[in-house]
Amino acid sequence: MMSGGLAVLCLLLLHTGVQGFGLLPGNSLNHLEITERAILNATVQVCRALAQAEGTDFTFPAQPFTVKGVAVACGAQQSSKSFHKAITFIILRNVRVDIRHALNASFHFDEEMFVQGRKIITEGIQAVKASNKQENFEAARQKLGEILHPLQDFYSHSNWVELGNKFPNTNLIRSDTSIGTIADESRATCRNCVGDDCRNNILEDIIQDKILTSGYFSIVPLFATKPKGKCSHGGAIDQTSTIDPEGGINKDTFSSSHGHLHTEAANMAIAASSELLEDIRGAAGDRPFLQMLGISKGSSKALCFVIDTTKSMSDDIETVRNVASSIINSQVGTENEPSVYILVPFNDPGFGPLIRTTDPQVFKDALNSLTATGGGDEEELSLSGLQLALTAAPTSSDIFVFTDAPAKDKDLKSTVIALIERTQTVVNFMITGSTVLNRRRRRDDKQQHSKIAATDVQLYRDLAQASGGQAIEVTKSELPAATSIITESSSSSLVTLLQAARSPGKADNFSFVVDETVTKLTVYITGRSFTFTLISPTGESQQSTDTTGSLISASQSVGNFQTLQLNTQVGQWEMRMVSTNPYTLKVIGQSPIDFLFDFVEASQGPFTGFDVLDTRPRAGVNGSLLVSLTGSDSATVTEVALVESSGSGEVKGVVEPQANGNFLVRVDRIPSVEFVVRMKGQDSSDTPGASTIVFQRQSPINFRASNLTITADSNSILVPGTPFSVPFSVMTMGIGGNVTIRATNNRLFDSTSPASLFLETGNSVNSTVTLSAPLNTPSGTDFTLTIEAEAPGGEDTNYVVLRFSVVNTVTDFTEPVCQLLSLQSNCSNNCSLSMWELSVRVTDGAEGTGVDRVSLRQGNGSLNTSLDAGNENITLVSYRASCCSADVELLVVDRVGNVGSCVYTPREGSTAAVSMSTKVSHSPLLCLSMVVLGLHVLNWASSDSISKL
Ligand SMILES: *[C@@H]1O[C@H](CO)[C@@H](O)[C@H](O)[C@H]1NC(C)=O
Ligand SMILES: *[C@@H]1O[C@H](CO)[C@@H](O)[C@H](O)[C@H]1NC(C)=O
Ligand SMILES: *[C@@H]1O[C@H](CO)[C@@H](O)[C@H](O)[C@H]1NC(C)=O
Ligand SMILES: *[C@@H]1O[C@H](CO)[C@@H](O)[C@H](O)[C@H]1NC(C)=O
Ligand SMILES: *[C@@H]1O[C@H](CO)[C@@H](O)[C@H](O)[C@H]1NC(C)=O
Ligand SMILES: [Ca+2]
Ligand SMILES: [Ca+2]
């Protein structure tokens, strides 16, 4: 009963005793590398196809592919960071399967759990496709990582390779086919072996009859068992491998039982991962597929507005419209064009609906249709609106909140902070009509009531500060100026050099480092009545009162917000601030080089490894971060420190380089007070004679640690209308007592959870949140559940942020089919003088969900589709192309994302054609017969369905 699956093409650390994701050149391949290679390969294929379709040049990136190299080849260098982030996220979810589900054989294809393992993969594929369709790319990435793991394990843990297969088992990504002949429970599969003899320990009849089997596994020394005659996983920690038949069959590393087949297994795992990605690409379409991977045409960032729509806001809304128009007009078509536009209106009692669109016109129309009405008691649901935006925006976005009223939903403050920390999103507040202003500028705002008191503004300041954003307080007439200053800077290559706050205010000195790659060096200051002295690396200085100095090239001031444009000088700058009022200081610039990081935790389970935290890290004890650099393949991290946000205390970590440009950073102690993450690095470019660039970056977000720990899993899929429970557990290392529990979700689904749990110091308590998505929830909807635990006294809170997908049960497993109606060609020797055309009927069968999309995978003719006037279930396709473009491959996709492909080509002087779909891969005879018949007209190389054979 304790037997189960080993983790593994991965955790090679297990074998070397090294902790981490480490991988030295020449060593075995792990899940991390397999996943990255497959993603980079798939991305190159898609970008090449897009370039061909759009008639632009495509240059293959140098081998081995790197994130930056592929982003550049895709013409999307500005997406390097979000591409890197997406890949890391997928990989960490993949690796998590080994940590969270180490002993569940189904997740690793151990113990002949073939049907169960495939179910995890195929249900996950349905969820990924449904999420992509709703543009919920974060949810799609999460599930993708989770299902790549078992898919990859299959090739290491089963005897697929030993059976002589040269290609992946396509049936693992399909629901309606046979995986192969699986060994009966009672059928012996291995024989006893020792030493070299173990290379052939699988029984001859198993190999001959092409019977599938996989290894048994257990880590429990005395109680390990396995059915008679079955193979073991093998290796020192597998206790079943010393039970008759002794030995093992896994190919996890070169030193594994079947390590001589490691390379074959790993390469097949890469090919299988590529095939799964290809299927997801077909369902999504090329652009959305790239967006799932963090690559967009323009900026990877969102333009995200959360707007109070009550009566007094009518002028502000007009301002937002104008600013949005000017951003859109100046950025569309440039590399700063937002990848997505998000709008969330709020008032009281309502908020939402959230509008998320990639079409700037739809966004403008939505803004134009906002009307300012109601408002009543002058407190609005601003945090509910913000919560919705935080859960819908891509990570690392900037959100702008416009309001002139206090928050009515103040109890969401900690939830909003949790989401800010987890999504690393910067929130800026544009507050009009604060009492501070109205007292001083009453004449400007004669018609407005002063409605937002300083104490109410403080909540917004706290949230802005936690996220490293600005809380800008201006009059209604100043709003246009303030808004355009701050939104102008939303470029995707924006980096933070320094971010600090002092509340209460006090005189303090701050330093920041500017490197050769930084341009558009800008300082933001919010606060009232401050002065400063700026000192450049060469020792020049300039006072805030000095308008003619040489350091500041431009300065703008509106309300409590001042910006300075600096003349860039490389080296260490100093800013000496003097104020007795609270202030924030932020120094930003544009640079391709930036860093990404996650807090990670050493696995508590049987296998060493690191798991990414969806929570605050533990306070006062040691901890780890996984850091990677983006925008340079040669740069390295030299120092990482956790720096107290409101003081000068800092904890430096030990940096350990890992494979793939990752760095594991261990710190002795995570601070108990708020802190930021600061990174120093250097880049010695390959160019001879070029000097080494030394750079410094900082997280805009302020983080907190906690004495509470909270854990929960989000790998399940919700079915609408079916109650669903999320088990979680809470532990405290702080004082015991009644811990308050709050569970909130961004979709307002019904949920029940305990109001509090009694916890003793050092003990953990299990509980559950039960929820249910309404029956009419569209498939692919994602929702974010935040479970918070607040220690007695309210000083310390922790949370876990979980993202789930809601997916309707899928019963349609077959792709649409094509039926050729006519094909005409008069192709002659001079192809440019002649055309060919065809018409095709596409249907999804009586039981199918219907044809959703028909597109060209290959061929550059013109494609037209229409619904049959007499029958909506029939899609009519006509295609017309030059005879120089002699092949066409139509991609036909149904509403749940089953992808078929139909290939046609004219034959010289005749009307014969061949049509086939991906289904062919399950009908090798059909395919073979075509070859035999001499229909040599297919483009074998470009048809995925055929290369699979
Ligand atoms: C393993 O995971 C699958 C899929 O989540 C689940 O259905 C099954 O109950 C788990 N098995 C065990 C032994 O926990
Ligand atoms: C790269 O992707 C293509 C298309 O999906 C596939 O044919 C090829 O086998 C992949 N390469 C590797 C090394 O997996
Ligand atoms: C955790 O507990 C310690 C000791 O009780 C305390 O000093 C520290 O402030 C607590 N940390 C947080 C984040 O509450
Ligand atoms: C915790 O809550 C329970 C029930 O609400 C109450 O009976 C108990 O006294 C509380 N304990 C403490 C230490 O506050
Ligand atoms: C909580 O649940 C975990 C996992 O299901 C279990 O191992 C643990 O024993 C439970 N703890 C308590 C206190 O019930
Ligand atoms: Ca209002
Ligand atoms: Ca179908």
Domain extent listing, the chain: 4-292, 302-489, 494-590, 617-698, 708-795, 817-916
Least confident of 50-64, 453-467, 679-693, 748-762: 679-693
Task: Kindly tell me if the per-residue pLDDT of 364 is higher than 90.
Answer: yes
Q: Whose CA is nearest to atom 3 of ligand 4?
A: 738
Strand partners, 768: 727
Q: What's the pLDDT at 451?
A: 66
**Residue 737 Cβ < 6 Å to ligand 4:** yes
Q: What is the pLDDT of residues 402-428, one digit of tens each?
A: 999 999 999 999 999 999 999 999 999
> In Å, how far are 508, 718, 820, 863, 876 from 869, measured between CA atoms?
74, 37, 18, 18, 10
Q: What's the pLDDT at 3?
A: 34
Q: Which two tokens stand for residue 509?
A: 């000195």
Name the CATH architecture for the domain at 494-590: Sandwich (2.60)
User: Given pLDDT bands bounded at 50, 70 and 90, which one contains residue 944?
Assistant: very low
Q: How far does the chain reach from its first CA to its final CA, in angstroms?
A: 39
Closest ligand 5 atom to residue 765 Cα is 13
Sheet holding 552-558: strands in order across? 494-502, 583-590, 519-527, 561-566, 552-558
Average confidence score pLDDT of the chain: 87
d(CA 668, CA 666): 7
Centre of ligand 7 from the C-alpha of residue 379, in Å: 50
Q: What's the pLDDT at 714?
A: 82
Centre of ligand 1 from the C-alpha of residue 330, in Å: 52
> In Å, how far are 290, 578, 709, 740, 764 from 736, measured between CA atoms?
48, 42, 13, 12, 11
Say if CB 523 and CB 557 are below 8 A apart: no
Say if CB 590 and CB 518 are below 8 A apart: yes
Mean pLDDT of 897-912: 76
Judged by its nearest atom, the ligand closest to the C-alpha of residue 433 is 6
Least confident of 520-529, 597-606, 670-679, 891-900: 597-606
130: helix, strand or coil: helix
Q: Which uninterrupted H or E stretch holds 361?
A: helix 360-368
Residues with CB under 6 A from ligand 3: 619-620, 672, 705-707, 734, 795-796
Residue 941 DSSP one-character state: G
Q: What's the pLDDT at 633?
A: 87
Q: What is the pLDDT of residues 122-167, one digit of tens each?
A: 999 999 999 999 999 999 999 999 999 999 999 999 999 999 999 9
Least confident of 24-33, 220-229, 820-829, 934-943: 934-943
Q: Which uninterrupted H or E stretch holds 288?
A: helix 286-292
Say if CB 904 and CB 914 are below 8 A apart: yes
- Strands annotated E in 292-403: 302-308, 340-346, 355-357, 398-403
Mean pLDDT of 750-778: 95
Judged by its nearest atom, the ligand closest to the C-alpha of residue 33 is 2
Closest ligand 4 atom to residue 736 Cα is 13
Q: Which of 401-415, 474-488, 909-923 has the highest mean pLDDT?
A: 401-415
Strand partners, 102: none
User: Given pLDDT bands bounded at 50, 70 and 90, which one contains residue 489?
Assistant: low
Centre of ligand 4 from the C-alpha of residue 821, in Å: 76
Pocket test for ligand 5, best of 101, 758, 764, 766 (most atoms within 8 A of CB): 766
CA within 13 Å, CB half, 873: 10
Task: Kindly tell me if the per-residue pLDDT of 323 is higher than 90.
Answer: no
d(CA 281, CA 779): 18
Listed in sequence order, the DSSP H helices in 454-583 are: 454-467, 479-488
Q: What's the pLDDT at 16?
A: 27
Could you tell me which residue, 363 or 223, shows the higher pLDDT?
363
Q: Whose CA is nearest to atom 13 of ligand 1?
A: 104
Q: What's the pLDDT at 507?
A: 96
Q: What is the pLDDT of residues 509-563, one digit of tens each?
A: 999 999 999 999 999 999 999 999 999 999 999 999 998 889 999 999 999 999 9
**Residue 760 Cβ < 6 Å to ligand 4:** no
Task: Kindly tell me if the per-residue pLDDT of 266 is higher than 60.
Answer: yes
Q: What's the pLDDT at 604?
A: 72
655: helix, strand or coil: strand
Q: What's the pLDDT at 542?
A: 96
Q: What's the pLDDT at 737?
A: 94
Closest ligand 3 atom to residue 704 Cα is 13
Centre of ligand 5 from the C-alpha of residue 410, in Å: 34
Centre of ligand 1 from the C-alpha of residue 107, in Å: 8
Mean pLDDT of 225-246: 93
Task: Kindly tell me if the per-residue pLDDT of 313 is higher than 70.
Answer: yes
The answer regarding whether domain 708-795 maps to CATH 3.20.20.20 reads: no
Task: Kindly tell me if the per-residue pLDDT of 867 is higher than 70.
Answer: yes
CATH T-level fold of 817-916: Immunoglobulin-like (2.60.40)
Q: Which of 202-211, 851-860, 935-944 has the highest mean pLDDT?
A: 202-211
Say if CB 492 and CB 297 are below 8 A apart: no
d(CA 406, CA 563): 26
Q: What is the pLDDT of residues 568-593, one digit of tens each?
A: 999 999 999 999 999 999 999 999 99
Centre of ligand 2 from the C-alpha of residue 945, in Å: 12
Sign of the CA dihedral running 618, 619, 620, 623: positive
- For residue 416, the one-letter residue type is V
Judged by its nearest atom, the ligand closest to the C-alpha of residue 795 is 3
Task: Kindly tell me if the per-residue pLDDT of 928 is higher than 70.
Answer: no
Mean pLDDT of 448-459: 75
Closest ligand 2 atom to residue 278 Cα is 5
d(CA 867, CA 586): 56
Q: Whose CA is nearest to atom 9 of ligand 4?
A: 738
Task: Kindly tell me if the per-residue pLDDT of 930 is higher than 80.
Answer: no
Centre of ligand 5 from the C-alpha of residue 766, in Å: 6
**Residue 764 Cβ < 6 Å to ligand 5:** yes
Q: What is the pLDDT of residues 7-45, one digit of tens each?
A: 333 332 222 222 222 333 346 788 989 999 999 999 999
Q: What's the pLDDT at 6?
A: 35
**Residue 106 Cβ < 6 Å to ligand 1:** yes
User: Given pLDDT bands bounded at 50, 70 and 90, which one contains residue 312?
Assistant: confident
Centre of ligand 3 from the C-alpha of residue 575, in Å: 32
**Residue 132 Cβ < 6 Å to ligand 1:** no
Backbone angles phi, psi at 839, to 5 degrees: -130, 140
Centre of ligand 5 from the C-alpha of residue 232, in Å: 29
Q: What is the pLDDT of residues 283-302, one digit of tens each?
A: 999 999 999 999 998 887 88
d(CA 89, CA 138): 9
Centre of ligand 2 from the C-alpha of residue 838, in Å: 30
Domains 708-795 and 817-916 share a fold: yes
Mean pLDDT of 68-73: 95
Centre of ligand 4 from the C-alpha of residue 736, in Å: 11
Centre of ligand 5 from the C-alpha of residue 585, in Å: 46
d(CA 812, CA 152): 25
Judged by its nearest atom, the ligand closest to the C-alpha of residue 843 is 7
Residues with CB under 6 A from ligand 2: 41-42, 45, 270-271, 274, 278, 944, 947
Residue 400 DSSP one-character state: E
CATH of domain 302-489: 3.40.50.410
Q: Whose CA is nearest to atom 1 of ligand 1?
A: 104
- The pTM of the full predicted model, rounded to 2 decimals, is 0.91
Judged by its nearest atom, the ligand closest to the C-alpha of residue 451 is 6
